[in-house]
Every structure is written in C-alpha cells, then in structure tokens.
Amino acid sequence: MPGTDYDQLYRQFRWEIPARYNIGADCCDKWAAQDPNRLAILHVRADGEDRISFGWLRETSNRLANVLRAQGVSRGDRVAIFLPQAPEVAAAHIAIYKLGAIALPIAILFGPDALSYRLQNSGAKALLTNSQGLAKLAQVRDQAPELTCVLSIDGAGDGAGSFHDLLARASSDFSAVDTAADDPAMMIYTSGTTGQPKGALHGHRVLLGHMPGAELPHYPFPQKGDSYWTPADWAWAGGLLDVLLPSLHHGVPVVARKFDKFDPDEAFALMAQAGVRNAFIPPTALRMMRAAPSPRGRYDFKLRSIASGGESLGVEALEWGKAAFGMTINEFYGQTECNLVIGACAQLGMLKVGAMGKAVPGHVVAVIGPDGEPLKPGEVGQITVQRPDPVMFLQYWGKPEATRDKFIGDWMTTGDQGVMDEQGYFTFVGRDDDVITSSGFRIGPGEIEDCLIRHPAVALAAAVGKPDALRTEIVKAFIVLKKDYTASDALAAEIQGFVKTRLSGHEYPREVAFIDDMPMTTTGKVIRRLLRDKA
C-alpha cells in the first residue's frame, strides 16, 4: 500500500485480484523457488528451537498433498487441522490449498463435543492432529462417518496413521491445482456465542483481501528484519489470516510457540528472546499482561509494532501499552465472515483514543439503520461492509437462509452496534444483544468494562444487562479479582463508586458479582450470553 497518509492511501487504493490464484503456491512455492533456505517459521520449543525454511514447507506440503490424494482426498473435500501452533500446521494449510481441498482449522482447546459438531457439520474427510486430539476424537469418532483419513504428528495409533512416516515415503513433487480466486479454500467456524457455530466458507481470494488490513497496523509492512508472533491460535481467523498467512505471503518469518495456557511472563520472554518485531496480541491477553509485573527494563524488546483486535481494546490497555512497550497499540476490527475492515495506524496519524480506527483502504464500511440506509455521523446503528469485497465470505456452509439473512441489500451486517464520527472514525458500542437498555439509555458494555479494569483490584471484568421492572435493565458487573484481593461487599461498593464517579450515574453497575473464571470463547472473547443467563 504506497502512500504517506490515510486519505491518500484510501483514495488511491485499487484491488488487484487475479482471476486464478492459489494461496498455497503464493505463500510457499514462490519463496522456495527464489531461496529454499529462506526462514519461514522460527519454532520455539521448551527445549530449543527449529528454523523452518520455505524449502522445508514446500517439500513437506508437497509430500502431504500426495499422501492426502492417495487417501482419497480430492478437490473440494474438507480437511480438518486439529493442532496447536507448529510448523506442521503451516505445511498442512499449504498442502490443502495446493490440493484444491478446503482447510478446516479447529482449535486444539475444543473438547469432544465441539470437535464432533464441526467434523459432522462439515462432512470432513480427513483430520490432521496429535495424541491430544486423538484422545478427544476417540470419544466421538462414530459421530463422524465421513471421516476416512486420520493422521497424527505423534505417530500411528488409535485409528490414525503416522503423519511423518507416511510423508517420508511420499513423493516431494506436486504441482498446485489451478484454482480460481473465488474457489473455496478454507472454512472457519464462528465462535458460537449464540446458537450453534456456523461455518464461514472463504475463497482463495480471502488472503489477498486481508492484506491491506494486515499491513496497516504495522505500516509500512513488511520492513527488513520483520518477524511476526501472536499468541492467538492459528485455528482462529486472527491467528491464521491476520498473522500466519499474510506473513508467509510477504516472506516474513513467523514465530511459533505452543502455549498450554497463556502466561504473561512467558510471552514477554518469548518476544525478547526471539527478537519479535511485530505482534498481534488480543485484548484479553493484553489485560493479562497488564496484570503482571511491568516488562519495562526487565526485557530487551526489538518490537516496532503491536496490533490488537477481536474485541474492544479500551483506553486502559492503550495507555498501558505505551508505558510497557513505548509504542501505541494499533487496534483493528473485523469478524470471521469479513475480517480486518477497520483499523488504526498511529504511524500515519490515524488514531483516536476510544475508537477502533477508520475503514481500511479497499473496504466500504458504514453504520446503517434498520432500513439499510447509512446513518449520520454520531448516530448509533449496525456496522456493515458493502459487497462485493474480496475479504468477504462466500457463504455459511449448508445454510443459504442464514447467508441471505446476513445481508441488508448489499450491506453485510456484523451484528455489532457502533457509531461513526465526522472524521470517519468508528467506535464500537457492543453486540446487538450486548447493548444494555437502562432507563431509556442505550449503554455499551465496553466503556464500563474499560473503567472497571482501571480499579487496582480488578483483573478481568464484563458488564451485562439484567432485566429490571423499573429500568428495563440494570448494569451488572462480573469481576475476576487480582490475586492479592478478596471479594467482599465493601469491595463491591468501592468498585461501584469507582465507576459511578468516573462514568455516570446511569452506567455504573448496580450489582457486582465476583467470579473465579471469566467464560470465554477459544478466541478470547467474553461469552456474555452465559453471564446474562447467570444474571
């Protein structure tokens, strides 16, 4: 994206989407042909590290494509990837794209029921996993009758073939099939905070559609010496399409590290030791890092840019990022169906505290009313994206009615309430079902939660609406305390007063509940539905 300021970038941007395009060939083969020794992935393990080259990725993905083809996997078949961050995950994606099949990333944290639903709903033909995944699969294998091929990177057993043994015997020659940019490439299930998850099917063009949004928070990206890391699972759109594939597209090394459970100090140490230059850290992880001792002066960081997205970042996290890393964290916004369409970039002077940013070049974003017409600046409505757009999903798998319902005319609805100001900055108000209506006021939970975590006792917080006969709803806060604090009525009253004096009388939580753990999706978003049920 050439340009020196946002207005110029947005005005001059033009999509260049080729008619024929294959993600696998683009992210791997082009770089391997230039220099097979070029670093693609720095795999950090507990006992050392592996330097994975583009040549390794090409050979491994070619061998895997041949193995899958021999196992009966063909164009259009779904292949599930049930693994944590590892080089095999990148090779698997590339192999599946080259084969013309459809990659189905599944977070390794999912339990048997969630795994079963995705395998059954997608009709997956093959599954790539490890011993941890096999143990979960064993409980539901009979519920996935179309699953005929299972490969484990930990070796044969429990009805699985050995990933590495089979690859060792396969040919390393494979030519990527000729795919159109609109041909299906991957299917990512929505996080399912309400109802059963839906499979968002994307074409090969989705990667090119991500590039402006992936580059903007790290502008200009890439630069010499860049290397990218995220704690986000590569099974999530944020890990896969914001970090892994865009980095490989640009030939930028990706740092891979398997975390059984996110640990702030381990994250600080990893970024310093691996010399990470670019990071995508979701807001929940940032809040956990904020609760740990400050990294300032404890670690020698090489960071030049940090991005965050997935839920509202909040002023407190933004201020902490400046103090901890000496830089502004650039926020971005999108969703599984249409990702990275709004973003901020402090390097371009494109930043407004409390706002998510502006429309990313190449995307037309608006706040609309129920009639489908864009609203005036300052009016609250639904955030939408105009089609056609290369980052937009093709359809919900097997759900044509849900696909149609996603649109109002040519506007793809997000289900998120927001407001746009006269300068074009978008501010997130809340999910359609998260907005709290109290005494005639429409209250977004984000501002309350941002205020709550400013209190020294609060580690994590979520605000929901609780039905109330007098006010329609009242604000109820669910709070996870920091280790050194104990729940009490006095502390609850103190926190209520803290919010009341900093926000307003109608926004403070009239009820406070202390909980041990915050219910979250695998992508780190608070599941407010469960908290509303509890309220």
Q: Tell me the sheet residues that pair with 475.
A: 465
Q: What is the mean pLDDT of residues 396-418?
A: 95
pLDDT band at 442 (very low <50, low <70, confident <90, very high): low
Give the pLDDT of residue 441: 67
pLDDT band at 451 (very low <50, low <70, confident <90, very high): confident
Q: Tell me the sheet residues that pair with 200.
A: 188, 396
Burial profile 243-265: b = 16 or more Cβ within 10 angstroms, e = fewer: bbbbbbbbbbbbbbbeeeebebe
Q: 3-state DSSP helix/strand/coil percent for the chain, to nearest 5?
A: 30, 25, 40
- Assess contact for 103 and 95: CB atoms under 8 A: no
Q: What is the mean pLDDT of residues 282-298?
A: 89
Q: Which residues contact 213 (CB under 8 A, 6 or more apart)?
A: 242, 332, 334, 339, 340, 341, 343, 360, 363, 391
Half-sphere exposure of 503 (CA within 13 A, CB side): 23
Q: Encoding tokens for residue 3?
A: 């340009």
Considering the domain delimited by 22-28+54-203, tell me its CATH architecture. 3-Layer(aba) Sandwich (3.40)
- Tell me how far CA of residue 264 lies from CA of 39, 120, 268, 269, 275, in angstroms: 27, 36, 6, 9, 17
Q: What is the CATH number of domain 433-534?
A: 3.30.300.30
Measured between alpha carbons, how far is 435 from 381 in angstroms, rounded to an integer? 11
Asked which of 123-137, 265-279, 507-521 is least confident by mean pLDDT, the reply is: 507-521
pLDDT band at 1 (very low <50, low <70, confident <90, very high): low
pLDDT band at 193 (very low <50, low <70, confident <90, very high): very low
pLDDT tens per residue, range 195-245 = 578 999 999 999 999 999 999 999 999 999 999 999 999 999 999 999 999
Measured between alpha carbons, how far is 332 from 344 in angstroms, rounded to an integer? 6
pLDDT band at 184 (very low <50, low <70, confident <90, very high): very high
Measured between alpha carbons, how far is 50 from 37 in angstroms, rounded to an integer? 13
Q: What is the mean pLDDT of residues 242-259?
A: 97
Tell me the CA end-to-end span of the chain in Å, nearest whole number. Answer: 47
Residue predicted with more confidence, 65 or 526: 65
φ, ψ for residue 263, nearest 5 deg: -125, 120
CATH label, 1-19+204-431, candidates 3.40.50.720, 3.40.50.300, 3.40.50.12780, 3.30.360.10: 3.40.50.12780
Q: What is the mean pLDDT of residues 374-386?
A: 97
Q: What is the mean pLDDT of residues 456-469?
A: 92
pLDDT band at 529 (very low <50, low <70, confident <90, very high): confident
For strand 330-335 and strand 305-309, is the pairing parallel, antiparallel, or unpaired? parallel
- Assess contact for 7 and 358: CB atoms under 8 A: no
pLDDT tens per residue, range 482-514 = 999 999 999 999 999 999 887 777 789 999 999
pLDDT tens per residue, range 383-406 = 999 999 999 999 999 999 999 999
Give residue for tokens 């390097």: 347
Measured between alpha carbons, how far is 149 from 80 in angstroms, rounded to an integer? 10
Q: What angle do CA 218, 236, 32 make, to 5 degrees?
A: 65
Q: What is the mean pLDDT of residues 43-68?
A: 97
- pTM higher than 0.75 for the full model? yes
Measured between alpha carbons, how far is 110 from 520 in angstroms, rounded to an integer? 12
Q: Does 388 sit behind a cis peptide bond, omega within 30 degrees of 0 on the bond before it?
A: yes
Q: Tell me the sheet residues that pair with 152.
A: 129, 162
Give the pLDDT of residue 90: 98
pLDDT tens per residue, range 78-96 = 999 999 999 999 999 999 9
* Residue 194 pLDDT greater than 50, yes or no: no
User: CA 509, 514, 517, 522: dihedral to nearest 10 degrees?
Assistant: -10
> 22-28+54-203 with 433-534: one CATH topology?
no
- For the chain, the domains span 1-19+204-431, 22-28+54-203, 433-534
Q: Does 220 sit behind a cis peptide bond, omega within 30 degrees of 0 on the bond before it?
A: yes
SS (H, E, C) 17-37: CCCECCHHHHHHHHHHHHCCC
Does residue 434 sit in helix, strand or coil?
coil
Residue predicted with more confidence, 293 or 1: 293
Give the pLDDT of residue 522: 66
* Residue 523 pLDDT greater than 50, yes or no: yes
Q: What is the mean pLDDT of the chain?
A: 93
For strand 102-105 and strand 511-514, is the pairing parallel, antiparallel, or unpaired? unpaired
* Residue 413 pLDDT greater than 70, yes or no: yes
What sign for the dihedral angle of Cα 353, 354, 359, 360?
Answer: positive
* Residue 305 pLDDT greater than 50, yes or no: yes
φ, ψ for residue 452, nearest 5 deg: -60, -45
Q: Which residues contact 145 (CB under 8 A, 6 or more apart)?
A: none
Residue percentage of the chain with pLDDT more than 70: 97
